[in-house]
């Protein structure tokens, strides 16, 4: 009787077909394994949508992983907004969907902006329109973060070559800035109208609000010298903005993911440089987790040779002892003010014992008495 009632319920409520197949697992066993949830309507967990941007046929392609019972973490994903390269003349397919799918596989929701280029827009209007479309895409992600299942505080931009210029434009000049930038063999500065149009020199646009950046390029790039990335990294370092940079020894411009399936005669497979993807994901994890990338050393509060030289010289009692017992230290700091940030012991070690050891011992003994 019990078996009959169970069968009736399954057939009437869940439309169970008890026909067994040697190829497909019987629905009955699925029900026993998962319970009634086995027969609820299965929603797709991934969808691709396209959103028009601007007025020149720009398009934002959205690769979305939607949450489900088995993958609840997808309810709030980090996001990557990708700008393919192409010299502002076209948008490279090799730097679009393959990159998006790689990040999708890593748990990101990915977005590719095919922005205005000279193929579909007057040359003199290309950059103005492309920059406006990039900002519109950023606005769209922020305003629709809930529906897109993304964290608005974890939106990174990625760009390659000219797309790197556009991504860095958003990072340095955008009204809504990303949390991080991934810049592959990016253009930062173009003399005159080298690309047929005037572009802003982004080496002049770095400010304190510029987000952290992951930069990668190749030593043999014959189109965009790796020195451009080095210059941009130097500007970030001067403002103490976190960055990571890799200049790969092999490969040329436009290697994208470096994978075999996107290789062609002009852009061969580049496995040496393909490792940038894993490195970039690690960098983004640190940024999104607000990790301190360079932990500040613990401040020494007791007077001794391990205290920062600047602190010793700024404190009247210790400064007087230095002038009395080791005046050459004060003279050195006047010539090398950058040494104020390290300790006397560190300076002695890295300078291969610049100062007399007996004088240092006497100074340390006098400093300790101030505690």
Question: Which residue reads 């490969």 in tokens?
Answer: 251
**Nearest-angstrom CA–CA distance, 157 and 141:** 11
pLDDT, tens digit (0-9, with 9 covering 90-100), for 256-299: 998 888 988 888 888 888 899 999 999 999 999 887 766 656 66
Residue 300 has pLDDT above 80, yes or no: no
The pLDDT mean for the chain works out to 86
Q: How confident is the model at residue 337 (pLDDT cuts 50, 70, 90)?
A: confident
Number of Cβ atoms within 10 Å of the Cβ of 89: 15
Number of Cβ atoms within 10 Å of the Cβ of 49: 11
Residue 8 has pLDDT above 60, yes or no: no
**Nearest-angstrom CA–CA distance, 328 and 339:** 13
Token pair in block for residue 173: 């000049």
pTM comes to 0.71
pLDDT of residue 10: 44
Residue 25 has pLDDT above 60, yes or no: no
pLDDT of residue 43: 57
- Domain locations in the chain? 2-39, 46-288, 309-368
pLDDT of residue 348: 86
Token pair in block for residue 209: 């609000």
pLDDT of residue 159: 98
- H or E element at residue 263: none
Task: List CB contacts of 330: < 8 A, sequence separation 6 or more.
Answer: 313, 319, 322, 323
CATH class of this structure's domain 46-288? alpha beta
Greater confidence, 161 or 34?
161
User: DSSP strand E in 213-278: where?
Assistant: 213-218, 243-248
Q: Is 265 helix (H, G, I), strand (E, B) or coil?
A: coil
Token pair in block for residue 94: 């090799």
Across the range 296-313, mean pLDDT stands at: 82
**Contact of 213 with 246, CB cutoff 8 Å:** no
Q: Decide the pairing of beta strands 77-83 and 150-160.
A: parallel
């Amino acid at each position: 009787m019990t078996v009959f009632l169970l069968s009736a319920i399954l057939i009437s409520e869940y439309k169970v077909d008890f026909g067994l197949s040697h190829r497909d697992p019987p629905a009955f066993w699925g029900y026993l394994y998962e319970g009634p949830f086995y027969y609820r309507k299965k929603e797709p967990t991934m969808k691709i949508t396209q959103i028009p941007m601007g007025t020149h046929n720009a398009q934002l392609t959205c690769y979305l992983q939607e949450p489900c019972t088995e993958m609840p973490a997808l309810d709030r994903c980090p996001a990557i907004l990708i700008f393919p390269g192409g010299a502002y003349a076209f948008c490279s397919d090799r730097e679009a969907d393959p990159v998006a799918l790689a990040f999708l596989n890593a748990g990101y929701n990915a977005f590719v902006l095919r922005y205005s280029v000279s193929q579909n827009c007057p040359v003199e209007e290309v950059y103005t329109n492309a920059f406006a479309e990039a900002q519109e895409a950023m606005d769209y992600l922020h305003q629709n973060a809930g529906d897109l299942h993304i964290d608005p505080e974890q939106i990174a931009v990625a760009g390659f070559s000219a797309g790197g210029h556009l991504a860095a434009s958003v990072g340095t000049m955008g009204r809504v800035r990303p949390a991080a930038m991934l810049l592959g063999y990016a253009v930062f500065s173009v003399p005159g109208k080298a690309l047929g149009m005037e572009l802003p020199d982004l080496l002049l646009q770095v400010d304190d609000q510029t987000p952290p950046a992951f930069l990668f390029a190749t030593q043999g790039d014959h189109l965009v010298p790796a020195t451009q990335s080095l210059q941009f990294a130097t500007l970030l370092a001067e403002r103490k903005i976190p960055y990571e940079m890799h200049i790969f020894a092999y490969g040329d411009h436009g290697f994208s993911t470096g994978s075999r399936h996107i290789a062609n005669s002009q852009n061969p497979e580049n496995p040496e440089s393909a490792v940038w993807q894993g490195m970039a994901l690690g960098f983004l994890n640190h940024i999104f987790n607000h990790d301190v990338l360079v932990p500040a050393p613990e401040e020494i509060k007791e007077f001794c040779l391990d205290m920062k030289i600047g602190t010793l010289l700024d404190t009247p009692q210790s400064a007087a002892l230095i002038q009395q017992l080791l005046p050459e230290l004060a003279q050195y700091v006047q010539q090398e003010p950058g040494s104020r940030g390290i300790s006397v012991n560190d300076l002695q070690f890295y300078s291969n014992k610049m100062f007399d050891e007996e004088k240092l011992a006497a100074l340390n003994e006098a400093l300790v008495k101030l505690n």
